[in-house]
Structure 1
């Protein structure tokens, strides 16, 4: 016999510093933890909370908080992992509240390869499709199968496939017209049983050469990825940050040639459609920002693409620093940098 449903508790004045990887000070006036579909339906059907404005919070690894949150915060903590046999592939399913890196490690423990290039990316499984996370030659969309999301207006549970998610570069339908309108509950990934390593990224090729391993396992590739990330990026548990703060700008071939004419050493990557991706970190570093600070917010000494909390930083300081970097890069290169994190 199933135990009766116990509705979630609506908490008041919740400190959000533990729930954003920057460690920025802010409070949620009201917060409810969503650990199941039933919890979310309780909120949607509640006579008061159902009509209230809402803010969806996952792992907080892609968030800059500049103020307290007045909407009802839905802290998504849905657990669960499952492995399904799909013939030539494995389907890896996980609750939206699972930590992303834990899922990657768990899938490797099950003997399933495919997610290893995305190891050590902070955040939750439910937030990963929103951002279409990517690293070292692989994006989430390359392994994505489908997800279950609940519409906050109708209460309808919908399964969305890759096409419906409209994945783009660090973008998806959840950052566009579904922003704040639906909550992801579960995500599924398709991983081929005939695994082939993705080693196109230069640093991975160097790691492979150094190891002298011609045919690595998924776990070995994951080890290389984690070593590369740890060498370049700060651990949010030690130094508050949101990972790469700016997207690598994509410009036309003509604009790329104009920048190269002025800066022959600029790091850039030609794309299949004729456009060019510029390395945002290189642009920022060239403007002299590495190691600089505004109040408690600073640019990481080892990677100019990462902004960090040097201690007691406030969201406004992070935003001021980011805007100063944008203005500096635009003045020198004529390139507009776009932030990756959501600024609230």
Structure 2
């Protein structure tokens, strides 16, 4: 375990924000958890950092930053119906997906190229192109540094919802996720509910898991900026879900409104479409801007700090509220200077 004071986190967040942690712990070995517990006493604020792809870091962070870099992937169990694969929380998510496909463990291909780590995936219940992590997740192993105990959460106990889980709430956000176990069915069924993937299906006689992975990567690269080139945190706002009555009222006013009916008869509105209608696509405010091809993505135009990101996010949300009467909620976690 490395304990460092005054650690530069600029290269540890995909927005590329300049940030300095007063106290930083690098967690690379599961055996170091007990030592971390000695530092994270009750009342001592701390923050768990993964791949930095879903965070807005302030310029100086007073909380102890625990950087989860645990590594390891292995097949835990094989049954007649499924493979059970476990990955350590610090594994790169996309690399893990690619590894699974190479091994013949299918089911995660629609989630390819999502930035971040395996441990962060259940926190946000990441999803793309018709699949969410909850659809494939068996369990989550987490460590409570305050009680020095390990807990295993099954799928139901994770309380998954749209971009949400128990790990984003008081009961679970202080836990250090150490590993995630996935159940990948042997009877593979491609998920092609999104029109972008259906276009690929029409161009090929058969879509294999590898072909879907490549298609998803191609789509994402065309639509989304590479954080290594342009600082960003992916989709910045959740797609708001509204009651049917509100949807129909909006539909009467905005005939081109983009929305998707949900199983409970509510509607998920396309936040990117609303932001675009408010004139934000390609627009800049201070040192931050909105991507020219995807209105859901806020980008660092070069020298942005957390205040710049917060300012443009608020301006966008205000405009959407004024025009549509709909509240936009950010996806990233905001890590303030003080807890």
Give the TM interval when normalised to the shorter protein: over 0.9
| Contact 1:250-1:277 at 8 Å conserved across structures | yes
CA displacement at 1:207 relative to structure 2 = 1.5
Deviation at 1:16, TM superposition (A): 0.7
* Correspondence for 2:129: 136
| Corresponding residue for residue 67 of structure 2 | 75
The CA deviation string for residues 94-116 of structure 1, in whole angstroms up to 9 with x for no partner, is 00000000000000110111000
Residues 243-294 of structure 1, C-alpha deviations (whole Å, 9 max, x = no match): 0000000000000011111100011111111100100000000000001111
- 2:276 is the counterpart of 1:276: no
- What displacement does 1:179 show? 4.5
> In the alignment, which residue of structure 1 is the partner of 2:107?
114
Quote the RMSD (CA, aligned, Å).
Answer: 1.0
2:332 maps to: 341
Query: What residue in structure 2 maps to residue 3 of structure 1?
Result: none
Identify which of 276, 299, 311 aligns with 2:302. Answer: 311
Cα distance in structure 1, aligned partners of 2:171 and 2:72: 24
Equivalent pairs counted in the alignment come to: 333
Normalising by structure 1, we get a TM-score of 0.95
- Per the normalisation by structure 2, the TM-score is 0.96
Structure 1 contact 21–240 (Cα < 8 Å) conserved: yes
Could you tell me which of 173, 187, 211 is aligned with 1:220? 211
Cα distance in 2 between the residues matched to 1:32 and 1:322: 30
Name 2:188's counterpart in structure 1: 195
Counterpart residue number, 1:331:
322
Question: Whose RCO is larger (CA < 8 A, sep 6+)?
Answer: 2
CA contact (8 A) 2:40 2:145 kept: no
Q: CA deviation at 1:49?
A: 4.3
**1:279-313 Cα shifts (integer Å, max 9, x gaps):** 00000000000011111110000000000011011
- Per the alignment, residue 45 of structure 2 pairs with 53
Q: Which runs of 5+ in 1 are unaligned?
A: 1-7
Determine if contact 1:149/1:159 at 8 Å carries over to the other structure. yes
Distance in 1, matches of 2:334 and 2:172, equals: 13
* TM-aligned CA deviation for residue 68 of structure 1: 1.2
Residues 249-288 of structure 1: matches in 2 within 5 Å?
A: 249-288=240-279
